[in-house]
Amino acid sequence: MVRSEAIAQVPMPYRRNLLIRCDGAGASHQLLDWLTAQGQVRGRKLDYSVGFAIGENVRDAITQLPAGSCTVAVRICLAF
């Protein structure tokens, strides 16, 4: 698998703390599930960031969703 081969090319000391980025082509549950599983490997910290352009067709689909069908993925509290 290309993803495993790519990680294997990273020198071992740097494989313990990875950040993987991808664009909309990588915005699939299959890839994100795989990345999440890789982050569970003992001794490894793996973060990932996926960018996804929201075009007119995506925006239209989002506006058709029923109220309350979306949930917040990340909640940040900046209380000082």
Q: List pLDDT tens digits, range 56-76.
A: 998 999 899 998 887 777 777
Q: Tell me what pLDDT residue 64 has.
A: 93
Is 28:48 a contact under the CB 8 Å cutoff? Answer: no
pTM beyond 0.95: the answer is: no
Q: Tell me what pLDDT residue 80 has.
A: 66
Residue of 12, 58, 20 lying closest to 39 (CA atoms):
20
What distance in Å separates the CA atoms of residue 61 and residue 47, rounded to the nearest whole number? Answer: 29
Delimit the domains of the chain by residue range. 13-63
Give me the average pLDDT of each 10-residue run along the chain (80 residues): 87 89 82 88 86 88 88 74
Q: Tell me what pLDDT residue 11 has.
A: 93
